[in-house]
Every structure is written in structure tokens, then in C-alpha cells.
Amino acid sequence: MVHVGMPAPDFEALDDQGRPFRLSQLRGRWVVLYFYPKDNTPGCTREACAFRDTSGSFAQYGAVIVGISPDSVRSHQRFKQRHGLPFLLVSDPNGHIAQLYGVWQERQLYGRRFLGVVRSTFVIDPEGIVRAVFPHVRVEGHAEEVLQHLKTLQA
């Protein structure tokens, strides 16, 4: 897993419009990079909507929100449109980005074991250094917790 104080691993992948996106494009800005398992599932939808509802506050602190999941560009487009998400979603269909960040791990659901994304969030400073890590996220209150932490980091 990526730790606080480490440079955030750069990556290139397609965004929700099918355009190439590199994390390094956001240098000079705070980034809230959140990994989630799947579009349009109950927990992932609640998390995305919480980030949507607080996105104005994040913007006031100069932060850009970027969501990443293994879903396709088309799935991201539908998810974003359906829920009015104002931030970028990045497609990671093979889990390569999740592996870079250490969040592609063995999971268990209904007694079945499989490899997948463990819900996690990283706060990255304008120089590209990881300043906060939230592993194994519980959805309720998470967006507000990240926002409060961002405020503390900038104080």
C-alpha cells in the first residue's frame, strides 16, 4: 500500500469521456483520489454521491476529486450521468492502478474469495506527495472525514 510521505504513483488511463488521463496532469493542485469497487452498487453510489454533495467544499480548498474503479468508460459515463457526478472517473479495467496503490487485494463476498478493489482514499498534495491514506473505507461520513483532514493539512 502507498504510505503517507511517498510520491503518489503516476499512471495513465482513460477517463469517463474516453480521453487519456495522467495523474501528473493535476500537479499544482490537491487531489482526492478514491478507489471504489463498482459503479451503481449501493455502497459505491452512496460514496460517490457524498463526494458529489461535498465537491463544492473540496473545490474551495483547491482539491480535485478523482474516482477510480475497474468499470469501463461507458459504465462510468452512465454512472456519472445518472447521479450528476461533477468529478472525473477513471477506468482501471485490469486493476493496474489499484495494484500500484496497493488496493487490489483479496476480498470476500457472500463466502466467495476474489481479487478486487478495497475501498480506499488518498489525499495528494500539489507536489504529488501522499499526505493522507484512508484504507478499508466505511462509506458513511467518509467524504466529510476526508474534507476535514484536507482542511487540517492546509491549516
CATH number of 106's domain: 3.40.30.10
- Residue 135 has a pLDDT of 96
Instruction: Point out which residues pair with 13 in neighbouring strands.
Output: 21
Residue 10 included in any domain = no
Q: Give the residue numbers spanning the domain of 65.
A: 45-154
- Residue 1 has a pLDDT of 83
Q: Helices in 14-95 by DSSP H: which ranges?
A: 42-60, 73-83
Q: Contact at 8 Å (CB) between 31 and 64?
A: yes
Residue 11 included in any domain = no
Low-confidence ranges of the chain (pLDDT < 70): none
Residue 89 included in any domain = yes
- The helix or strand, by DSSP H or E, that contains position 13, with its residue range, turns out to be strand 12-14
- Residue 151 has a pLDDT of 97
Residue 14 included in any domain = no
Look at the chain and report how many structural domains it folds into: 1
10 DSSP 8-state letter: P
**C-alpha cell recorded at residue 109:** 463476498
Residue 22 included in any domain = no
Residue 20 included in any domain = no
CB neighbour class for 112 (10 Å; exposed up to 12, middle 13-18, buried from 19) = exposed
- Residue 112 has a pLDDT of 85
Q: How many CA atoms lie within 13 A of 40 on its CB side?
A: 11
Q: What is the DSSP string of 79-122?
A: HHHHHT--SEEEE-TTSHHHHHHT-EEEEEETTEEEEEEPPEEE
Integer Cα distance of 95 and 101 in angstroms: 10
Residue 35 included in any domain = no
- Residue 107 has a pLDDT of 83
pTM of the shown model: 0.95
- Residue 91 has a pLDDT of 98
Residue 84 included in any domain = yes
- Residue 109 has a pLDDT of 76
Active site members: 44
- Residue 131 has a pLDDT of 98
